[in-house]
Amino acid sequence: MRATSAGAASNSTPRTPHEAPLASRVERNIVKFWRVSIRNTESEGHLDFIQANCRWNGRRRVVRGSPDVHASCGRHCSEYSMLYSLFQRVLEALENTFRQIEAKVPLPVRKPWAGSFVFRYEERTIQQAIVQKLARMISGLHAIEALLERGLFQEQGMVQRAVAEIEEDVWFLSIAVIHEEITERHSQFLDYFYAEEFADPSDIVGSHESRGMLKREKIREYIHKKGLSEKDAARAKAIDKVLTKAYSGFVHAASPHIMDMYGGVPPRADVSGAFKKFRYAGQQRDAVNYFYRGVQTMALAAQAFQDDQLYDLMRKLASRLETEMCD
C-alpha cells in the first residue's frame, strides 16, 4: 500500500533558520493540547456535562442560564451569543482550511458499482485517509451544533464520542507523516480503513466482509508517546478512559444516561428536546471542547501537509479559543 505520497504540491512557506523542527513543534502541540483539554475537562466542560449540573426535576428548577430563560438572562444570554458565534467562526475556518488541504491529494475516481458508480481514492494513501477523517470531523461538529440547538442532548453525547475518536485518528496518522515513520500499526490501520464492506453488490449478504479495527488503546498509546512526559501521558490516559466510558453510556443508551431525559411537570421522558432550556447552557459549554479539539486537529493535519500558513492560522485560532475557554 502506498503511504507517503501527498499528491499535489505543497503550498508551504519557507521556514526561518530559527524555527523549531517540525517534529519538535508537534511534541509541544501535543503537550499543550492535552493540558488544555485536561484543564477544561476537570473544570466545567466534560464533567459538567456528565454530572448534569443543569438538572431539572419536578417543580424545582436549577437553571444555570439559557437563551430561552429571559428572567435570568443577563450574562447567560451574552454567553450564549458568544459561544454560538464561536461555533460559526470555527466551522467556517475549519472548512476553509479543509478545502485547501483536500486539494493537496489526488481526487477520487469513479468506480463501477451495482449498475452505477461510487467514488473511491485509487491511491489509498495515508494523506488521503487524513483528508477523509477531517471531512467527517467537520460534519460531526456541524451535527453537534444541530443536536445542541434541537435539545437532543443524548444524541449530542453520541456524536461527541464519535468526533473524539475521529480526531484521535487524524492525530495518529498525521504524527506518522510528520515523523516519517509509517509503522506496521499504521499500515494495519490503513488496510482496515480502506477495506470494502461488500465484494459483490449483487450478493450483499454472501459477499460481506467484516472490517478489522485497530484497538483504540494502540492509537492513543502512539499519540501519547510522541510528546507527553510519563506523568502527562498517565494523566491523559486516565482522562481518556473516564470520558470514553462515560460517553459510551450515550452510545449504548445506559439507564443513568437515559434518566437525564426525565423530569418536568408532570415528570416524563423528554424525547423531543422540548425542555432543552433547562440544560442548554452546560451542553453548549461542553460542545466547545470538541470545537477546540477540532481546531488543534486541523492544525496538526496542516503540519502533516507541510503548510505553515494553514498551521499558523489554526494555531492562532486555537489560542483565541483557549483564552475564551479558560477565562
CA atoms within 13 A on the CB side of 247: 23
Query: Treating both helix axes as pointing N-terminal to C-terminal, what angle do 153-179 and 280-304 enclose, rounded to 10 degrees?
Result: 20
- At 60 the pLDDT is 28
Distance CA 305, CA 308 (A): 9
pTM here? Answer: 0.79
Per the structure block, which three cell numbers stand in for 287? 460542545
For the chain, what percent of residues have pLDDT higher than 70? 75
For range 137-146, the mean pLDDT: 98
Over residues 249-308, the pLDDT tens digits come to 999 999 999 999 998 888 999 999 998 888 898 999 999 999 999 999 999 999 999 999
Query: Of the candidates 295, 294, 298, 299, which has an alpha carbon nearest to the alpha carbon of residue 311?
Result: 299
Angle at 181 between CA 314 and CA 163, to 5 degrees: 45
Count Cβ atoms below 10 Å from residue 31 Cβ, excluding itself: 15
The rounded distance, in Å, linking the Cα atoms of 7 and 202 is 34
Contact predicate 104/126, CB 8 Å: no
- Tell me the per-residue pLDDT of 201-236, one tens digit each, with 9 for 90 and over: 777 788 888 889 999 999 999 999 887 888 888 898
The mean pLDDT value of the chain amounts to: 81
In tens, the pLDDT along 149-190 reads 999 999 999 999 999 999 999 999 999 999 999 999 999 999
Q: What is the DSSP letter of 232?
A: H
- Exposure string over 69-87, b if 16+ CB within 10 A, otherwise e: beeeeeebbebbeebeebb
The identity of residue 209, as a single letter, is: E
